[in-house]
Chain A
């Protein structure tokens, strides 16, 4: 909730600053804007690249700030680390009351725990000072009565923490943390966690980056990063190509023949809304957990999308073009090759982009279920060992590769279908 409000605050703040900066310093360019109506004119709305950059920077900043990263100068308050202490007051069976100190060292995460040196005791008191160690974000159980004289006797009671009264099951705020008293008379100390994320939830960016370099060099669980990503890509490409090889001709046939349309319509319309992930169990039963299973799954994921895209490509042909080709003396085969196929390319590319996206998502999910190598396998294995940095690194890589695939498809589309949007 705090992070969300901070994010919204950043959004508004940057917007206001941007508007002011534009008005103050770049206002001279304002007269270039000849379009007075932009609100409601969708074509006038181009993504503001400054906003895109700021958006990424904001997310990155929030990530840094809430993980105590050294990349950001400002941080959310972190967990307490260092030495702290509190006092407890106990009464014994003889109704004597004495006070002793508990010294605690809160160690930073992922560092060896050290214990503070025991302090001098007031020899007259029956309560004895204690010392304990704890890692940040964790809590520690301190059995203070263990070394107290008469601590095991009936009637021994801890009554106060830092002078504040306490009863079993109650919690008292102390400096740098909170103390609660168990029914058995033990104290549990939880140091202040601050607002930052524990690395096991969200590691700092540099930790993820370090892990990326480490895994690039050494691999993870004896599989190199490139092998993991490569296997995922290989499966996607194999499944996608198979889907195209079967789906596109099928789509053309459905667009050109009423028998094909009638025969395959129920199958396609039935299979289309089924998410490929729902097929994983069946595919595993039929094809096993090895490559054939995953590739069949991706094939099915791509098949219907490509079929429907090719079918739409055929139905999208302007009938004038077909009539023109016939009256220019073209045969059916010539019309298919020279008119229908090129005319359907824009639709096919749109379908291919969707199919690639779906395949990439499906392969990761399929690898989560069962795989020896692959990007999905890497992150599911890392999550089992609570290596959140690898999980995050994997997710970022999957996102970047998916985005990269889409960009490549768009470049190919612009090269191969330059008339799209121009006809």
Chain B
């Protein structure tokens, strides 16, 4: 069932031979990413996993357009990425909501910035509040909400712009285990309903397995793609219970395989440091 995949042909997001190196204070340079090539077809759900320092976030920032790669390029729908844009929405771990706006205004921020008429924005926000399960919370201040609800607002705010790709940088990293599981369900539901291309970065192997139609394990120094999986669990989780999926034999064996892979990488790093 689990198989390593080759390049997909029908691409919407095309990451072409991207390398990134940072200058160090001592004059040298560190390679954060080396020769990353990756194609995503429209509607694909990709999760990226790896030990800290493997350049996952750097890669995501390059796709978002916050960083410009030292080599290679990223293009979306045959248009090269040169900077941030509304077609590549981003969901952050936390602290990215605007505390001076209530939930409605946070969600409507993107459409408002693009001068969408007010009634249209309102309608869109109402729909999204319903979608993410925040009906009746529109007038609340974001700092009054729990961490899970704040991430619901983040998801809705990102969706309000109707982006082509949604980039998620450990969106559930700061949540407790129970909330996290609920939110995993929500992300799957949104993926199914909207059919968006999603790239999700996570530290949790379980989350990566569950939410990734496709899973990339990255290795550090230099950051590179170590292994790629094609996974059925996201589809299962949409139709059945998440908890059941997590108990499947395939799921647990893949989890153990990846965990020991990451452990090895971590040990290698520690060894090199010592």
Most chain A beta-carbon contacts within 10 A, residue among B65, B109, B157: B109
* Count of chain A to chain B residue pairs whose CB atoms are closer than 8 Å in the complex: 78
* A423: interface (CB < 8 Å): yes
Map CB proximity to A onto B105-140 as digits: 1 under 8 Å, 0 otherwise.
000011001100000000000000000000000000
Assuming A323-B90, A342-B98, is B143 touching A423 (CB within 8 A)?
Answer: yes
* B89: interface (CB < 8 Å): yes
* A238: interface (CB < 8 Å): no
Nearest residue, chain A, Cβ from B157:
A328
Give every chain B residue within 8 A of A418 (Cβ-Cβ).
141
* A284: interface (CB < 8 Å): no
* B251: interface (CB < 8 Å): no
Map CB proximity to A onto B36-79 as digits: 1 under 8 Å, 0 otherwise.
00000000000000000000000000001110000000000000
The answer to whether A318 touches B113 (Cβ under 8 A) is: no
Q: Choose the segment among A65-73, A168-176, A203-211, A330-338 that binds chain B (4+ C-beta atoms closer than 8 Å).
A: A330-338
Give, as a whole number of angstroms, the nearest-CB distance from A19 to chain B: 39
Partner of B98, one of A323, A326, A331, A339: A339
The answer to whether A327 touches B109 (Cβ under 8 A) is: no
B-side interface residues, number (CB < 8 Å): 31
The answer to whether A345 touches B113 (Cβ under 8 A) is: no
Complex CA–CA separation, A345 to B114 (angstroms): 25
Complex CA–CA separation, A339 to B98 (angstroms): 7
* B95: interface (CB < 8 Å): yes
Give every chain B residue within 8 A of A338 (Cβ-Cβ).
98, 109, 113
* A112: interface (CB < 8 Å): no
Give every chain B residue within 8 A of A328 (Cβ-Cβ).
86, 89, 109-110, 113, 157-158, 161
Give every chain A residue within 8 A of B109 (Cβ-Cβ).
325, 328, 330, 338
* A296: interface (CB < 8 Å): no
The answer to whether A329 touches B143 (Cβ under 8 A) is: no
The answer to whether B89 touches A419 (Cβ under 8 A) is: no
The answer to whether A329 touches B95 (Cβ under 8 A) is: no
Complex CA–CA separation, A342 to B65 (angstroms): 25
Interface residues of A (CB under 8 A from B): 318, 320-321, 323-331, 334, 338-339, 342-343, 345, 417-419, 422-423
Complex CA–CA separation, A324 to B98 (angstroms): 10
Complex CA–CA separation, A422 to B114 (angstroms): 29
Complex CA–CA separation, A419 to B110 (angstroms): 21
The answer to whether B84 touches A345 (Cβ under 8 A) is: no
Assuming A327-B88, A329-B114, is B96 touching A422 (CB within 8 A)?
Answer: no
The answer to whether B100 touches A345 (Cβ under 8 A) is: yes
Give, as a whole number of angstroms, the nearest-CB distance from B112 to chain A: 9
Give, as a whole number of angstroms, the nearest-CB distance from B111 to chain A: 9
Give, as a whole number of angstroms, the nearest-CB distance from A89 to chain B: 88
Give every chain A residue within 8 A of B194 (Cβ-Cβ).
none
Give every chain A residue within 8 A of B93 (Cβ-Cβ).
320
* B146: interface (CB < 8 Å): no
Complex CA–CA separation, A329 to B84 (angstroms): 8
CB<8 Å pairs between A and B, sample of 12: A320-B95, A320-B96, A324-B157, A327-B64, A327-B86, A327-B89, A328-B86, A329-B113, A330-B110, A343-B100, A417-B100, A419-B99
